[in-house]
């Protein structure tokens, strides 16, 4: 996607701070184009948990992906901002709602994304959310997660520091609580289907990985 398209998405947002953040994030983070590649050929609706400002949804629409998308986040300010951007965009089938992912999930059968939010959950909350999210994936559909992985790398140390900085600057409501390991994902998600784990840090110093569950056809 071109820089002009990033600016178009950024211009949908109400405040200057959000507009600058959105343009910079889309320019520098390979996350959204990776998700677009995974979801491009699927007609299933998408549930995006911890959607923040809804960047994934706006990016997918700009890539011509027209499936219904529901984004949920427990930060009302971000949801308000995402809603204003959705109204301004006049894009169809795009909804954002205030919801704490620790209090269950709405009915859904489709694809599910959980991007950069698991570090705010305790190990038990992570396991419950992952199992619940996997149960919302349609046969043949995907649960796509990005998470920093706990391991012995320098990248992991930088990831923890970055999350504490986000809290200190009030960009995130919460401080990081717990980082899962690659083995945690394998153990929790393998009963639902095939699990793949690969690095997704792009040009960043973070220990981000992409975890993709492809749900078994039952
Ligand atoms: C690092 S941001 C990622 C935003 C978005 N997923 C993205 O990648 O563009 C983490 C998001 O998770 C949200 N979050 C954290 N805990 C949550 C919870 N319990 N329920 C819903 N959202 C939560 C935060 O409000 C924040 O918007």
Entry pTM:
0.95
pLDDT in tens, 53-97: 999 999 999 999 999 999 999 999 999 999 999 999 999 999 999
4 exposed, middle or buried (CB, 10 Å; 0-12, 13-18, 19+)?
exposed
Q: Is the pLDDT of residue 198 over 70?
A: yes
How many other CB atoms sit within 10 Å of the CB of residue 113?
A: 26
Q: Whose CA is nearest to atom 14 of ligand 1?
A: 50
Lining ligand 1 with CB less than 6 A are 50-52, 55-56, 73-75, 78, 100-102, 115-117, 120, 173
User: First CA to last CA across the chain, in angstroms?
Assistant: 36
Pocket test for ligand 1, best of 56, 57, 73, 105 (most atoms within 8 A of CB): 73
Q: What angle do CA 75, 76, 78 make, to 5 degrees?
A: 70
Q: Is the pLDDT of residue 171 over 80?
A: no
């Amino acid at each position: 996607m071109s820089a002009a398209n990033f600016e178009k998405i950024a211009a949908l947002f109400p405040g200057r701070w959000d507009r600058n953040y959105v343009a910079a994030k889309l320019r520098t983070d390979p996350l959204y184009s990776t998700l677009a590649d995974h979801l491009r050929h699927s007609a299933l609706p998408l549930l995006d948990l911890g959607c923040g400002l809804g960047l994934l949804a706006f990016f997918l629409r700009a890539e011509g992906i027209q499936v219904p998308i529901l984004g949920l986040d427990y930060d009302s300010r971000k949801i308000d901002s995402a809603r204003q951007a959705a109204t301004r965009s006049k894009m169809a089938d795009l909804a954002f709602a205030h919801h704490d992912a620790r209090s269950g999930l709405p009915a859904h059968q489709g694809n599910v994304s959980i991007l950069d939010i698991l570090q705010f959950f305790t190990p038990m909350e992570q396991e419950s959310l992952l199992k619940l999210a996997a149960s919302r994936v349609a046969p043949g559909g995907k649960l796509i997660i990005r998470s920093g992985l706990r391991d012995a790398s320098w990248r992991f140390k930088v990831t923890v520091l970055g999350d504490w900085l986000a809290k200190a600057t009030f960009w995130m409501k919460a401080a990081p609580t717990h980082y899962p390991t690659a083995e945690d994902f394998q153990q929790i998600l393998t009963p639902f289907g095939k699990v793949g784990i690969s690095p997704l840090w792009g040009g960043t110093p973070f220990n981000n990985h992409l975890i993709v569950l492809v749900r078994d056809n039952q």
